[in-house]
Structure 1
Amino acid sequence: MTKPKVLISDKMDPNAARIFEERGCDVDVITGETPEQLKARIGEYDGLAIRSSTTVTAEILEAATNLKVIGRAGIGVDNVDIPAASGKGVVVMNTPFGNSITTAEHAIALIMAVARQIPAANARTQAGEWPKSDFMGVEVTGKTLGLIGAGNIGSIVASRALGLKMKVVAFDPFLTEDRAVEMGVEKADLDTLLSRADFITLHTPLTDETRNILSAENLAKTKKGVRIVNCARGGLIDEAALKEGLDSGHIAGAALDVFAKEPAKESPLFGTPNFICTPHLGASTTEAQVNVALQVAEQMADYLVNGGVTNALNMPSLSAEEAPKLKPYMALAEKLGSLVSQLAHGNLTEITIERSGAAAELNGKPIEGAVLAGFMRRYSDTVNMVNAPYLAKERGLQVRSVRFEGEGVYHTLLRVTVATSAGPRSVAGTLFGENAPRLVEIFGIGIEADLDGHMLYVVNQDAPGFIGRMGGLLGQHDINIGTFHLGRREAGGEAIVLLSVDQPIPAEVIDQAGKLEGVKLVKALSF
């Protein structure tokens, strides 16, 4: 049998090549090629192992006639066209946890550096000065660290901070009381964290939910003299507002390893007193580079030789026999998970996945993974059907799977329920024609709808004229309605509208819709 052939196109620990060879692959290490050279070469390879230097475009993928898997040694996959890879049937893997300790330690290092103004003191001392009286620092012992994001990296930072005798207050939508106790931290909402923290460090991905989580408004809620560290993602902090806070003295210091635009060759923050920065060094240790290289080699070789799938961003763990039957159910499951996550707010700590009728006879794990992937996508840019269960467990999310063999109104049904402070909230869906996912219920109200693209969810008082008012508002803003679905509990009671539109709905239109007569709630959805 011909051995799978792998190309390592970026500089990587030499042991990665050894692992490929030991596990039955032929490997070439050819780095520094231009996109044109890679495009000309890629057709002969089954696997491509990269870091951040190689950009895998749609054009390169089009030429990759034999390619089966791309492995990114690291977490970020911005340099891979994942939709194009999926269209070509190429699995994209990363190593999301190989840099965790290194990144956490860099955050701790920056906390200490900003507390004692080490870079500025070093520069002036080496310039021949002895400015001892100009650098009055603060101790971290006894101070409160505000942890935004309590996942893998955040939990490591918490443990190191506790070792430094700091108090840790954590904000994470998926952090449960039990997990907080296990970590030794206090769980809090974001406003409480902002008001109490002496130091704030961020450990969350950049998503629509977290973009500018430290906005000008939220920075104003922090206590005077706060010090802020970001080793996670650029874009989590409003950098202009951060500079204003530093200039005014409200923020005593800040340290960034990441910027909204990288490489950050220029920034208004550069030269600001009490500001420290490093060039995205979170993963830059010898140990981390070895770890991610070995992990990506192991994952890719396992897939190419044995068919095992680990940390894939565009493929669930499925056997060849199960895949055709499960595919439409997984599409439905992911949409239901996404819907309930977008609609149910608060600290969501428990989720129940029910399968009845034909769905009860299927392998529940891929369906569960699909629900969790959709559910957690608002909070993570790397979640997928493979790693979603791990991420849910890491955050203390309680997951229950229930199967009912008998049929109800529908021959097959999936129901997803989350526990909220206001009580359980559930959504349900079925398959039409065996393969068309369809929503059939939202929070106890029957409604049949496709979940796709940009949508608007409205809760209103059932009364004549509402449909005309809503359609008129969207028409005024040149927003075309694709589908319009209605449901209600009873005549004249609470009703819901779920409509699809051809483009994202601007925030000001959402605000105007919320002011229409009879409207109780308006929410933009995206699938």
Structure 2
Amino acid sequence: MAPKVLVSDKLSPTAVQIFKDRGIEVDYLPDVGKDKEKLAEIIGQYDGLAIRSATKVTEKILDRATNLKVIGRAGIGTDNIDKVAASKRGVIVMNTPFGNTITTAEHAIAMMFACARQIPEANASTQAGKWEKSKFMGVELTGKTLGVIGAGNIGSIVCDRARGLKMKVIAYDPFLSEEKAQAMQIEKVELDDLLARADFITLHVPLTDQTRNILSREALEKTKKGVRIINCARGGLVDEEALADLIKSGHVAGAAFDVFSVEPARENVLFGLPNVVCTPHLGAATTEAQENVAIQVAEQMSNYLLEGAVENALNMPSMTAEEAKVMGPWVKLADHLGSFIGQMTDEPIKAINILYDGSVAQMNLDALNCAVIAGIMKKANPDVNLVSAPFIAKERGIQISTTNQDKSGAFDAYIKVTVVTDKRERSIAGTVFSDGKPRFIQIKGINIDAEVGEHMLYTSNEDVPGIIGALGETLGSNGVNIANFTLGRKEPGGEAIALLYVDEPVPAEARAKLAETGLFRQIKPLEFDVA
């Protein structure tokens, strides 16, 4: 049966035709995205949803999207999609990060010019029959300092264009390395430094909990007198009321906004203020960009629905169609290994070392690395995904190292993950059997053979009699059914471990009873996403 896609926002006819040409059934309903009730009513029919910014993909919509496999956003911003809810339901979220980068960067530069030379007000005055040359005294861009908040895809293009205008460019971006900044011929600075030095400030970051109101009242009050603020990124990055107050007081000389905290912006505190330029979210609104992102999203979604290829996904690693067929179980294994380590480790992690042995060493290791890191970091940050995990790890100063080697053991391929803290090293290894199911094969250097279940219990102890009996009797008396029981030891009488796959979480009372026996050094409940 052919996959079925809903296009719920206005998209280029070329994109719709791409779906049809690839044999995908498509319903083009460009107004349904604005009707939450109607969208919720029909979304259960579709395998794919292609949108722009008008459709809001909420948790409520996703609850009704029982067949949905992929959401494709024609554009870069995905704050209209509940990505956490999508990930929990196994729905891939894709965007098109490069289709409108030039267009949006150009708009930011145009808005900066318009603000610097008061072009909209001068145009309105002149067309009204006035000739007010002295009223519209502007400033040059040449020689001025441009502060760029966010030096990613779009921000880096703005930096390049600004340098071409002979501006001095400084940038605040936690993910920008000194080496990259030097290559871009810009100066990397902290936010307070940028606020104090910039003549113009332009924002190019997504809207997240970390960036919301990044230009707060407090931040705006730290800016250089006469600064001009440009926002062509996302509404909510700037405290608009505070900015309006500072424009009225004369501290801020002007602003140019393409995006607003509430859209459509029928009214806003910035409207009507002197030297404030406003446009209706036109950053990506060029013929070229609209066509590019529409074509790109249709091709990406088709490739995934028909071939399993993942491109520009925000909640899982990208891989080609060929890789997807082979790598799926290994990605799941990598996540399980990371999750085990993350749940077992309470102290700060200094380093993550990942060993790939045998045939797995020839796979897409970037994707597997992301899965391991995301698995480890889920405990500290449940919202982490396969894209954000490496950045969060880098931000925390965690060193990531990868080793790949030829087949060196009893298995054709395996992955071993080791984390290093100030107190200890902890390791786990796993493989994928011929049935495609991930297995744990070694913990702390002790060989085991354990199926991975949603609910598990890990214990460590001295190798003494009574362990199996204590576990079986205690769990049984607390109504916990054991699906799989695995034991391992280093040597007779030495350190031993048990890993139990159980049908439901082990209650705290049962764990307390086990602790009372005095047989166990460690008793740890574990949870894994096996869906």
Change (3 A) 1:241 1:7: closer
- Map 1:112-511 to 2 at 5 A: 112-316=113-317, 317=319, 319=324, 322-324=327-329, 326-327=331-332, 329-330=334-335, 333=338, 353-355=352-354, 364-370=365-371, 384-385=385-386, 400-402=401-403, 413-415=417-419
- C-alpha contact 2:358 2:408 (8 A) present in aligned 1: no
Change (3 A) 1:61 1:219: closer
**Deviation of residue 306 (structure 1)?**
0.8
Paired with 2:44 and 2:327, the residues of 1 have a C-alpha distance of 30
Paired with 1:165 and 1:425, the residues of 2 have a C-alpha distance of 52
Change (3 A) 1:227 1:428: farther
Change (3 A) 1:280 1:86: same
Paired with 2:28 and 2:175, the residues of 1 have a C-alpha distance of 41
Paired with 2:262 and 2:178, the residues of 1 have a C-alpha distance of 36
- C-alpha contact 1:9 1:54 (8 A) present in aligned 2: yes
**The residue matched to 1:209 in structure 2 has which SS?**
coil
- C-alpha contact 1:175 1:187 (8 A) present in aligned 2: yes
Partner of 1:508: none
Q: After superposition, what is the alpha-carbon deviation per residue over 1:28-55, rounded to whole angstroms, capped at 9, x for unaligned?
A: 3233234454455444433222223334
Paired with 2:424 and 2:136, the residues of 1 have a C-alpha distance of 56
Partner of 1:26: 25
- C-alpha contact 1:8 1:50 (8 A) present in aligned 2: yes
Paired with 2:256 and 2:338, the residues of 1 have a C-alpha distance of 41
**Deviation of residue 328 (structure 1)?**
6.0
**Deviation of residue 108 (structure 1)?**
0.2
**Deviation of residue 254 (structure 1)?**
1.1
**The residue matched to 2:253 in structure 1 has which SS?**
strand
- C-alpha contact 2:338 2:374 (8 A) present in aligned 1: no
Aligned Cα root-mean-square deviation (Å): 4.3
AA paired with 1:327? K
Change (3 A) 1:22 1:355: same
**The residue matched to 2:169 in structure 1 has which SS?**
strand
- C-alpha contact 2:338 2:417 (8 A) present in aligned 1: no
Change (3 A) 1:206 1:44: closer
- C-alpha contact 1:337 1:372 (8 A) present in aligned 2: no
**Deviation of residue 114 (structure 1)?**
0.7
* Alignment of 1:8 onto 2:7: yes
**The residue matched to 1:229 in structure 2 has which SS?**
strand
Paired with 1:207 and 1:416, the residues of 2 have a C-alpha distance of 30
**Deviation of residue 102 (structure 1)?**
1.1
**Deviation of residue 103 (structure 1)?**
1.0
Percent identity over paired residues: 58
- Map 1:75-94 to 2 at 5 A: 75-94=76-95
**Deviation of residue 278 (structure 1)?**
1.5
Q: After superposition, what is the alpha-carbon deviation per residue over 1:433-472, rounded to whole angstroms, capped at 9, x for unaligned?
A: 775899xxxxxxxxxxxxxxxxxxxxxxxxxxxxxxxxxx
- C-alpha contact 2:331 2:371 (8 A) present in aligned 1: no
Paired with 1:22 and 1:412, the residues of 2 have a C-alpha distance of 44
TM-score scaled by structure 2?
0.67
Change (3 A) 1:390 1:84: closer
Q: After superposition, what is the alpha-carbon deviation per residue over 1:216-241, rounded to whole angstroms, capped at 9, x for unaligned?
A: 22222222111111111222222222
Q: After superposition, what is the alpha-carbon deviation per residue over 1:224-283, rounded to whole angstroms, capped at 9, x for unaligned?
A: 111111111222222222122212212111111122222222222222222222222111
Partner of 1:109: 110
Paired with 2:424 and 2:265, the residues of 1 have a C-alpha distance of 45
AA paired with 2:332? K
Change (3 A) 1:40 1:149: closer
AA paired with 2:112? I
- C-alpha contact 1:69 1:91 (8 A) present in aligned 2: yes
Partner of 2:527: none
- C-alpha contact 1:373 1:385 (8 A) present in aligned 2: yes
**The residue matched to 2:170 in structure 1 has which SS?**
strand
Paired with 1:197 and 1:375, the residues of 2 have a C-alpha distance of 39
Paired with 1:250 and 1:244, the residues of 2 have a C-alpha distance of 9
Paired with 1:179 and 1:337, the residues of 2 have a C-alpha distance of 31
Q: After superposition, what is the alpha-carbon deviation per residue over 1:121-174, rounded to whole angstroms, capped at 9, x for unaligned?
A: 122222222111111101101111111111111100011111111111111112
Paired with 1:152 and 1:120, the residues of 2 have a C-alpha distance of 31
Paired with 2:238 and 2:169, the residues of 1 have a C-alpha distance of 20
Tell me, which stretches of 5 or more residues in structure 2 are unaligned?
410-414, 429-439, 444-449, 458-531
- C-alpha contact 1:329 1:437 (8 A) present in aligned 2: no
Paired with 1:290 and 1:335, the residues of 2 have a C-alpha distance of 45
**Deviation of residue 327 (structure 1)?**
3.0
- C-alpha contact 1:337 1:373 (8 A) present in aligned 2: no
Out of 183-192 and 22-31, give the one that drifted further.
Answer: 22-31
**Deviation of residue 16 (structure 1)?**
0.6
Paired with 2:152 and 2:340, the residues of 1 have a C-alpha distance of 24
TM-score scaled by structure 1?
0.67
AA paired with 2:241? A
Q: Say which structure, 1 or 2, has more relative contact order (CA 8 Å, 6+ apart).
A: 1
Change (3 A) 1:81 1:214: closer
Paired with 1:9 and 1:119, the residues of 2 have a C-alpha distance of 34
**Deviation of residue 7 (structure 1)?**
2.7
Change (3 A) 1:333 1:238: farther
Change (3 A) 1:171 1:77: closer
**The residue matched to 1:355 in structure 2 has which SS?**
strand
Change (3 A) 1:163 1:334: farther
**Deviation of residue 11 (structure 1)?**
1.6
- C-alpha contact 1:15 1:294 (8 A) present in aligned 2: yes
Partner of 2:498: none
AA paired with 1:314? N
AA paired with 1:172? D
**The residue matched to 2:235 in structure 1 has which SS?**
coil
Out of 93-102 and 295-304, give the one that drifted further.
Answer: 93-102
Paired with 1:103 and 1:283, the residues of 2 have a C-alpha distance of 5
Partner of 1:68: 69
AA paired with 2:354? R
Out of 358-367 and 29-38, give the one that drifted further.
Answer: 358-367
